[in-house]
Amino acid sequence: MCLPSPPTAGMDSPPDCTHHKSGMHPLLSPCWKQTENDCTLDHVLRSIGAALHRKESRVTKGKRLVLTPAGQIEVEEFEVPVPAANQLLVRTSLTQVSAGSEMNGIRRRRTASPAEQASFTPEGLGYTAIGVVEEAGSEIDQVAVGDRVLCSGNHSTHWLITPELEASEVVIPQQYNVQKLPDDLTDVEVAFCVLGDVALHGVRRAQIQIGESVAVHGLGVVGLLALQLCRLVGAQPLIGVDLVEERLDLARQLGASHLVDAGSQDVAEEIRAHTQLPWRWRGALPSMLPGSGAEVQLHCTSFIGNYPTMIKAAADRGRIILVGATSGSIPIESNELFRREIVMTGSYQTGMSDTHPYWPWTRVRNQHVILDLIRRRELQTEPLVSHVVPYTEAPDLFDRMMSGHEGWLSVFFTWD
C-alpha cells in the first residue's frame, strides 16, 4: 500500500501532536488528535484530503518583473519555490513602485555603455508587497496560512521568506521581512507604511521644532508624505518645491504654506523671501538677508543638481536632510558650509532593523506610526495614488515614468 506523504505545514493538524512532529504518518499514529484527548478518524481523513487537494491545486508557475541588462522591463515566468520548514511563501496581491530607487536602477542601465551593460545581470525590482501567506513550513509560528502580510518582495506573484535570517548580518531585509497586517486598512493604504517610514525617518533626523521653517524639495510620494509629517510636527512656514504644477497644487492641498516652481523661479531667492525673520543673528554673514533661509530642508528627489541651491537657501546653521535615493557626484562650495555651519545629513536607516540606545525608531516602529496616522486620517494617502494597474502594463508604464514626472505619482501593480 502506498500511503500519502505526511501532513505538511498548513494542514488542519494539531500543533501539539508528538507523533506528527516526529514525522509519523497520521494513519499509523495512535494519537492523531483533534484536541488533547480526542482522536477521530474523520479528522485524519479530512486532514489528508486537504493536503492532497492543496498538492493537486498548487500553482507551480509564477510571473515577475525583471530589469534586463539594457534597462528594459520584462514580464518573466518562473518556478514557484516550495518553502522549507523554516520558510513561508506569500501569494502577492499588490506591489508598490518606489520611483526613486527603481528608476535610478533603470536609468543607470539605459545610460550605461555597451561594455557596462554586458556586465549586468537581470534583476528584480521593488521592495513593497502585500499578499497572503499561501504556504508555511512547520517551524513558522509568527504567521499562519491565510494571514494577510506585508513583505519586502519584488514585483512578483510569489515571494519566499526565511524569517530566521533576520539574525544574520550577511542577508538583505527582502529575505526575511514579513509583518501581519491589520484588517481595518486596505492593501493600498498599508503599502504606504514603507515609503512613509522613509519619509518619517528623514523628518526625525531633521529634529524639527515647532515654528521652524522647512522646505521640501521634490514632491513625489516620499516628498508629499514628508511634507504632511512636517505639518504635523509644527513646521511653519512649510514650503513645497517642484517642477510639476500638479504636484505643487497637491502640496498646497496637503498643507504647504508656500510653493516654489523650480522650473520658473529662483528657488533660493524664493525660499529666502518666505523665511524672513524680524531679527538678525549675531555674526551672520553680511551678504545674508536678515534672518532669511530655511532652517530645515528635506531633499526628497533623486536629482542631485540642486545641492548648491539648497546650500544657498539654507539659514545659518541650517540642516539639510538627504532623503531621496541619489547617485553620482556634484561640486559644492565647502566654504559656505564651513562659515555658515550648515549641516548635510544622510537619511538611509542604516542598521535600523533593531533598536539602539541612541535611536529607538526602528523601521517596524515607524511603519506602525504611519499606519496609525493613516487610520486616524491625519496622513492622507488617497490623493497620492495615480495608478493601480495589472502587472502586464508595467513595461509601458515604466517607460512613461522614465520620460518625465507628469501624469503619475504613486504606482501600484495588481497580481491577481
Q: pTM (2 decimals)?
A: 0.82
Q: What's the DSSP call for residue 265? A: S
Structural domain spans, the chain: 1-50, 61-181+383-414, 193-346
What is the predicted pLDDT for the residue at 360?
83
3-state secondary structure of 124: coil
Give the cell for residue 87. 520558510
Q: What is the pLDDT of residues 281-308, one digit of tens each?
A: 555 555 555 568 999 999 999 888 999 9
The whole-number average pLDDT for the span 315-330 is 89
pLDDT at 316 over 50: yes
Buried-exposed string 323-342: b where 16+ CB fall within 10 A, e elsewhere: bbbbeeeeeeeeeeeeebeb
Query: How many other CB atoms are there within 10 angstroms of residue 311's CB atom?
Result: 21
Question: Which of 205, 143, 214 has its CA nearest to residue 176?
Answer: 143
**Residue 177 pLDDT grade (very low, low, confident, very high; cuts 50, 70, 90):** confident
User: By mean pLDDT, which of 69-73, 120-124, 241-245, 347-351 is the weakest?
Assistant: 347-351
Residue type (1 letter), 409: L
What is the predicted pLDDT for the residue at 16?
44
Buried-exposed string 235-270: b where 16+ CB fall within 10 A, e elsewhere: bebbbbbbbbeebbebbeebbbbbbbebeeeebbeb
Q: Cell 508624505, residue?
A: 225
pLDDT averaged over every residue in the chain: 85
Q: What percent of the chain has pLDDT over 90?
A: 66
pLDDT at 365 over 50: yes
What is the predicted pLDDT for the residue at 12?
42
Q: What percent of the chain has pLDDT over 70?
A: 80
Q: What is the pLDDT of residues 55-69, one digit of tens each?
A: 557 889 999 999 999
pLDDT at 94 over 90: yes
Q: What is the CATH number of domain 193-346?
A: 3.40.50.720
Q: What's the DSSP call for residue 413? A: E
pLDDT at 97 over 70: yes
What is the predicted pLDDT for the residue at 170?
59
Q: How far is CA 111 from CA 114, 148, 405, in A?
A: 9, 39, 18
Q: Are 99 and 407 in contact (CB under 8 A)?
A: no
Query: How many other CB atoms are there within 10 angstroms of residue 177's CB atom?
Result: 23
What is the predicted pLDDT for the residue at 42?
56
Buried-exposed string 42-65: b where 16+ CB fall within 10 A, e elsewhere: ebbeebbeebeeeeeeeeeebbbb
What gap in Å lies between CA 10 and CA 28, rounded to an integer? 20
Q: Are 410 and 385 in contact (CB under 8 A)?
A: yes
What gap in Å lies between CA 198 and CA 242, rounded to an integer? 19
CATH of 61-181+383-414, one of 1.10.10.10, 3.40.140.10, 3.90.180.10, 3.20.20.80: 3.90.180.10
Q: What is the pLDDT of residues 185-242, one digit of tens each?
A: 999 999 999 999 999 999 999 999 999 999 999 999 999 999 999 999 999 999 999 9
User: By mean pLDDT, which of 5-9, 90-94, 119-123 is the weakest?
Assistant: 5-9
